[in-house]
Amino acid sequence: MNLHRQVTTTAVLLMLFAATGAALVGLTHDTTADTILHNEKLTLLRKLNTLVPADKYDNDLLDDTIKVAANDLLGTSEVSTVYRARKQDQPVAVVLSPVAPGGYNGSIELLVGIYADGTLAGVRVVKHRETPGLGDAVEVSRSDWILGFTGKSLNNPAEKRWKVKRDGGDFDQFTGATITPRAVVKAVHTALVYFNKHQKMLFARLEPAANKPADTAPTDTTVTTQTPEHGS
Amino acid sequence: MAAEQTKIIKDGLWTNNVALVQLLGLCPLLAVTGSFINGLGLGLATMMTLILSNTCVSLIRHWTRPEVRIPIFVLIIASIVTSIELAMNAWFHELYLVLGIFIPLIVTNCSIIARAEAFASRNTVFDSALDGFMMGLGFLLVLVTLGSLREIIGQGSLFANAHLMFGESARSVELTLGESYPGFLLAILPPGAFIGLGLLIALKNTIDRRSKQKQAVKLTGSQPASA
């Protein structure tokens, strides 16, 4: 009997602490959830704006998105999001999220902004595990190398010059690190090829008015994206 | 009474320093100290956790039962760390992105549960809070020192990315050793963290030995050398 009582008190005690802890976390979550969501949107938008400047478009970049299926040209194995910029309903640019598979230390995730005329608005590295001090020069905070893509397109430089200098191309490699820039150059190039192939689909609007709630948009477009896959 | 608090302060900052003497919490210590700001950010978060967890544990020390005290401490610490993580995500979003996984990993910093068990569960609320603050401060100072050293030697800069914590106006406080500094890769990589920490520990031990020798020679109750 005494033992029973002891076990019950202990269990109740633990339960009380668990409940209090959960309440504390729940309360903090409630107070911070909106700010966190806002922060994440802002961070993403700021990142996108470094590729496509805010004064070049007038739509809501974060709302006007489509999901595209995994594609070899993008190096993706999952559905990825494409952000679309428009001005007065005319297509201005898209931001793709390709992955460069051949980094020195795993995949390198990129953001590639492409204007409607096929020139590059800019490229940024989102995530990588390259060697600090050598391969991480692809980060914009470490060197200007990645800015060199801006203004380039499929024909500028010509197809076979889309390589690092060591391979007979136009792009610099880094001292002591060729693999990283080679992977990035290749991924940017194939992203441009992808854009060229699927341009219509990438800018396609679900409906002209676009006053449909944003949350239903992605499901519809995922279907659309599968068609152009074998077209053109 | 005051002597006891003095001892707590000295213990936390020097004699029983979490990082230099207890050698606890080395994983975050070595991983994030690539720069001054990273060290400061994680140090402050850990210090907050230590103060809050010590206070809570001390507050409930008469109500727990010995059999379940450890699970209860873990619950308290986990709730506090999760709340701090959410708060940092909300109000220091960019710093949160930089520190990443190491904020939730504060839970696994042994020094926190060690202080809860060894100190807070047996002492008054005030003393426990003070102990949490001083232990946290001692940890923070090591993080900041190691972060600064690695940043200066590795990248030739100091206070880079200060705007992550202090807002845009702090961008200008970044110091550089001049554009020509080539950088020293080893200092930024993990081995640099181990070597740096080793040197700091050696320095502390040397200072301790010197002050002991001085005391032995003089036999006057002089304070530890201010180095």
Question: Above 90 in pLDDT, residue B86?
Answer: yes
Question: Above 80 in pLDDT, residue B48?
Answer: yes
Question: Above 60 in pLDDT, residue A221?
Answer: no
Assess if residue B223 is contained within a domain.
no
pLDDT (average), residues B180-204? 87
Domain range spanning residue B50? Answer: 2-218
* Cα-based angle A43, A73, A130 (whole degrees, multiple of 5): 55
- Residue B27 contacts A where some CB pair is shorter than 8 Å: no
Selected for mutation to probe chain A from B83, B92, B153 (highest A CB count within 10 Å) is B83
pLDDT (average), residues B61-86? 90
Separation of alpha carbons B84 and A220, rounded Å: 39
- Residue A16 contacts B where some CB pair is shorter than 8 Å: no
What is residue A160's predicted lDDT score, i.e. its pLDDT? 84
Q: What percent of chain A lies above the pLDDT cut of 70?
A: 88
Who's near B29: CB < 8 A, 6+ residues apart?
Answer: B19, B139, B142, B143, B146, B193, B197
The band of A187, judged by pLDDT with boundaries at 50, 70 and 90, is very high
Q: Do residues B77 and B107 lie in contact, with contact meaning Cβ atoms separated by under 8 Å?
A: yes
Q: What percent of chain B lies above the pLDDT cut of 90?
A: 41
For A94, phi then psi, to 5°, come to -125, 155
Who's near B178: CB < 8 A, 6+ residues apart?
Answer: B156
Two tokens, residue A192: 């441009």
pLDDT (average), residues A36-40? 91
Assess if residue B73 is contained within a domain.
yes
Assess if residue B199 is contained within a domain.
yes
The band of B220, judged by pLDDT with boundaries at 50, 70 and 90, is low
What ipTM describes this predicted complex?
0.75
Assess if residue B23 is contained within a domain.
yes
What is residue B1's predicted lDDT score, i.e. its pLDDT? 54
Scan residues 193-222 of B and list those with Cβ closer than 8 Å to A.
none
Question: How many independent structural domains does chain B possess?
Answer: 1
Of B63, B65, B89, the CB nearest to A32: B89
Question: What global pTM score does this model have?
Answer: 0.75
Cβ–Cβ of B79/A22 closer than 8 Å? yes
Selected for mutation to probe chain B from A10, A28, A41 (highest B CB count within 10 Å) is A28
- Which residues does chain A have within 8 Å of residue B71's beta carbon, measured at their own beta carbons? 14
What is residue A188's predicted lDDT score, i.e. its pLDDT? 93
- Which residues does chain A have within 8 Å of residue B94's beta carbon, measured at their own beta carbons? 43
Of A14, A20, A133, the CB nearest to B71: A14
Tell me the CA distances in angstroms from B119 to A21, B55, B76, B124, B129, one per residue in order.
21, 11, 15, 9, 10
CB atoms within 10 A of CB B191: 12
Q: Identify the weakest region by mean pLDDT among A184-198, B61-75, B98-112.
A: B98-112
Question: Above 90 in pLDDT, residue B129?
Answer: yes
- Which residues does chain A have within 8 Å of residue B60's beta carbon, measured at their own beta carbons? 17
pLDDT digits 0-9 by tens, A202-211: 888 764 444 4
Separation of alpha carbons A190 and A183, rounded Å: 11
* Beta pairing partners, A111: A124
Assess if residue B226 is contained within a domain.
no
pLDDT (average), residues A46-50? 88
Question: Above 60 in pLDDT, residue B189?
Answer: yes
Q: What is chain B's Cα-based Rg?
A: 19
The band of B224, judged by pLDDT with boundaries at 50, 70 and 90, is low
What is residue A194's predicted lDDT score, i.e. its pLDDT? 92
Question: Above 50 in pLDDT, residue A225?
Answer: no
Assess if residue B149 is contained within a domain.
yes
Assess if residue B227 is contained within a domain.
no
pLDDT digits 0-9 by tens, B15-33: 888 888 888 888 888 888 8
Cβ–Cβ of B68/A10 closer than 8 Å? yes
Shortest Cα distance from A144 to chain B (angstroms)? Answer: 14
CB atoms within 10 A of CB A110: 26
pLDDT digits 0-9 by tens, A100-153: 988 888 899 999 999 999 999 999 998 888 887 788 888 887 788 999 899 999
